[in-house]
Amino acid sequence: MSRTTFPGNEASASAPISPSPQEVRLQLDAILGSPLFHGSKRSQKFLAYVCEKSLSGDEATLKERTIAIEVFGRRPQSELGDDTIVRVGAREVRKRLAQYYVSTEGTLSDIRIDLPTGCYAPEFRYASLSPEKLALAASSPVETVAARPPARRFVLNAGIVLLAILAIAVSTKSLWSGGAHDTDAFTRFWEPVFRSHEPLLLAVAHPIVYKASRRAMLISEQGRGRLAMPLQRPIQVPPHELDGSDIIPVFNQFVGFGDMVVATDVSAMLARKSKAVRVRMASGVEFADLRQAPALLVGAITNRWTMELQQSWRFQFERTTELNYVIVDTAQAGRQWSIPHEHDASIPEDYVMICRIANSFTGELLLVGAGIRQNGTEAAGPLLTDIERLTPLLRGLPAGWESKNVQLVLHTKVIGNSPAKPELVAWHVW
């Protein structure tokens, strides 16, 4: 017998045709020269490095430690256990790629370069398979593989048969307890979203930002000199020259960086599954909206729906009398998780809560990804979208968790204003 294969895609005659290395490199040059990448040398170097390694057949070398050394200049003898520079760099590249392909320039691109969550090996594919490419595939030379002669018949004794059966059983068990099970657990977590005919409603937090009045800014600028470029800078005004009218609250115009990371990670993951996302400010979401589609609530204290819907859950965000925010265990008096109270973002740790409320009174799946501060919220993005991070958390839950409500509380170190890989500290299923 024989089989027909297209060049560069011998695995299956019906599989999509992959772009050639020359086409990929042209697309890579266009991406690296675009405004989204031109301003970030680190993202340019990261994407160029992983693409060239993949095109040259060296995907096996695309490990976190290798990239830290080759791209970011870390020393080979360095201890990289808590160094998140590669993961942060990968998230930045994914974000810029997602933005590029929705830009005017990117929408006209015939070839897509993607960096899937959970790995550093890029994927190359055509945005669509045009009639010209189909014609090219049909006219491509075929490869004929001659049928092998029948294998020589022989007789196995009972002992060898038994060993073969045991080997197959062990292999099957390993398969189901390994990658196949991992993928299945991740799919079960997101299955209601994948199945829904409605886009995921992604409700981001709506922090109140306090802005200096025009009067305060004018006082500050007097005598400071004119900037060569009109960039923002902090005001410098003696306290006795300010009053309450100089602090102006601004509503529903800003989104925190942690919220943006979660929204980008989740949107990119669902885009690869051909699922749409509808992003809304939580302040503009009505309860009727939550009843019509699965929803992901991003953020805690600054998200009205997280705070309102958590009232019947075991783990809840609360504010203390000293105006500190904590996560409390309502089932164990005195048990709570808190972080140092600082006015700026320089905190050494944070806590993040992941919730999957399958039996919400909204009637639809309700997901939550939120930290006490923005670093914890940022950590929720990879937790929700990375198979290798989410699966170990699900593996320890009791059977049937996918039809129940699940809450996870995790702790993360914050290094250089970026969260490290979180560790589970508590969970509850009901």
pLDDT in tens, 52-109: 999 999 888 899 989 999 998 888 877 777 778 898 899 889 988 988 887 777 778 8
Q: Which of 284, 339, 276, 287 is nearest to 309 (CA)?
A: 287
Q: How far apart are CA 193 and CA 272, in angstroms?
A: 13
Q: How much is the mean pLDDT over the chain? A: 81
pLDDT of residue 180: 41
In angstroms, the first-to-last Cα distance of the chain is 56
261-301 pLDDT, tens digit each: 999 999 999 998 899 999 999 999 999 999 999 999 999 98
Contacts of 379 (CB under 8 A, 6+ apart): 258, 350, 352, 371, 410, 412, 419, 422
Domain 184-206+254-429 listed as CATH 3.40.50.300? no
pTM of the model: 0.59
Work out whether strand 336-338 and strand 325-329 pair parallel, antiparallel, or are unpaired: antiparallel
Rounded CA gap, 331 and 313, in Å? 10
Instruction: In whole angstroms, give the CA distance from residue 382 to residue 30.
Output: 28
pLDDT at 344: 56
The pLDDT-based confidence of 342 (bands split at 50, 70, 90) is: low
pLDDT given for residue 140 in this prediction: 43
Q: Cβ(315)–Cβ(428) under 8 Å?
A: yes
Angle 291-294-297 from CA coordinates, rounded to 5°: 95
Contact 327, 371 (CB under 8 A): no
Name the helix (H) or strand (E) containing 168: helix 158-177
Measure the CA–CA gap between 56 and 373, rounded to whole angstroms.
42
Cα separation, 184 vs 165, in Å, equals: 25
- pLDDT over 60 at 7, yes or no: no
Per-residue pLDDT, 40: 85
Other C-beta atoms within 10 Å of 61: how many?
15
- Which of 37-46, 112-121, 348-357 is modeled with the greatest confidence? 348-357
Where residue 137 falls among pLDDT bands split at 50, 70, 90? Answer: very low
pLDDT band at 222 (very low <50, low <70, confident <90, very high): confident
Task: Give me the residues paired with residue 166 across strands.
Answer: none
Give the domain ranges of the chain. Answer: 21-128, 184-206+254-429, 209-223+233-250
Give 196 or 16, the one with higher predicted confidence.
Answer: 196
